Amino acid sequence: MNTLKRIGFALLAPVIAVLIAMLATSIVILASGSDSSAGDFWSVILAKPENRIMVNIINQTSMIYLSAVAAAIGFRMGLFNIGVEGQYTLASYTAATFAGAALLPGAINVFASLVIAMAVGAIWAGIAGILRTTRGVSEVISTIMLNSIAAILVGYLLDQYGEHGGNQVRTKALHASSQVPGWVPFEDRDGAIWTLGLLAVAVGIGFWVLLNKTRFGFDLRATGLSQTAAVASGIKVNRMVLVSMLLSGAVAGLIWMPAYFGSAYTYGTTFQAGLGFTGIAVALLGRNQPVGMIFGAVLFAFLSAQSNSLVFQTDISPSVVQITQGVAVLAVVIAYELVRRYRIRLEQRSVARARTAPAQEVAA
């Protein structure tokens, strides 16, 4: 099969899934009996994004993508790290506190903070890894619990050591010399594309190389495909569990860093929670594939950003796009299976044709 056809098949399933998701959303809007129609909804969502929203979509995509990669590292070897949320919450707070303290100057401060974020994320995920390898505790359970603990812990630490102002509390603001705002493509008021969004590009390339080109990646995939075969091939599964939890947590630690150094400059109400769960959905949508997850991240970022305009132009709640997102994740699983079967049937038919063609000649 030629490359063009292969790409076509690869895109077929996601396209089907998105169409199903759009259909389901339209039905929900119709059934909800709101004054605005499904048509109004889609005309808002599918409108050309304003400049400001365009910037926002790109920035959100980078963070969602980082989160998806974090989840996918675990998924690829059959580990369900549901704890990305807790890992990046704790990592973001710690890194923001460290960066805000300005112990180091300018760029070195940024760099050190990123390392700290990764380390904290890794440690938090590593706890689940150690519980799994030494005590056999399912990482699903432990990471969910670690999510709650992280939220409580950060709340407490912020309250204890943060700067209180009005009824808000936040970490010490980042010194201007360590701010990394980014590139302004339109007007100043439309905002900047965060420089550290490039972290997502680097992590994506790194993930692809790791999976497909390295021995470690091979071991990771082999463990995910068949643990028994992995053991027989000499892979130390416990070590793999631990290392991939650490890696997954380290990537999770980076999730909010583009926003922090790009525009938030402090951890407080500015912190964007929930990206950890979005990442899991996007990893599923993109089948844990480095490229597939780019599309998933763009889709999610696009829908969320566009939905904000719903409030001004319709009486439909922006949270309706969550239905679109959710259905897309479910539908894609089914769509992939259908496309796979269709493809096999096509290939079978071409094999059968190749055989019967000469046979008929003989018969005739």
Helix 198-213 vs helix 237-254: crossing angle, to nearest 10: 160
Query: Residues 108, 201, 231, 311: which binds another protein (CB under 8 A)?
Result: 231
- We find the least distance from the C-beta atom of residue 236 to another protein, in angstroms, to be 7
CB of 215 to another protein, least distance (A): 5
- For another protein, which is the closer residue by CB, 218 or 277? 218
Query: Judged by CB under 8 A, which of 95, 235, 320, 321 binds another protein?
Result: 235
Write down the least CB distance from residue 3 to another protein, Å.
Answer: 14
The answer to whether 224 and 283 are in contact (CB under 8 A) is no
> Minimal CA–CA distance to 257: which of 120, 113, 68, 147?
113
CB of 232 to another protein, least distance (A): 4
- CB under 8 Å to 165, separation ≥6 — which residues? none
**Angle, CA 335 vertex, CA 332 and CA 341 arms, to 5°:** 145
Nearest to 47 by CA among 295, 314, 329, 282: 314
- Residues 191-230 vs another protein: string with x where CB under 8 A? ---------------------xxxxxxxx-xx--xx-xx-
Which strand (E) or helix (H) includes residue 164?
strand 163-165
**Is residue 352 within the footprint of another protein (CB under 8 A)?**
yes
Kindly state whether residue 351 participates in binding another protein, applying the rule CB under 8 A.
yes
**Nearest CB to another protein, comparing residues 168 and 226:** 226
CB burial class (10 A; 0-12, 13-18, 19+) of residue 341?
exposed
Stretch that binds another protein, among 149-157, 253-261, 327-335, 348-356 (CB under 8 A): 348-356
Binding site residues, another protein, CB under 8 A: 212-219, 221-222, 225-226, 228-229, 231-236, 344, 347-348, 351-352, 355
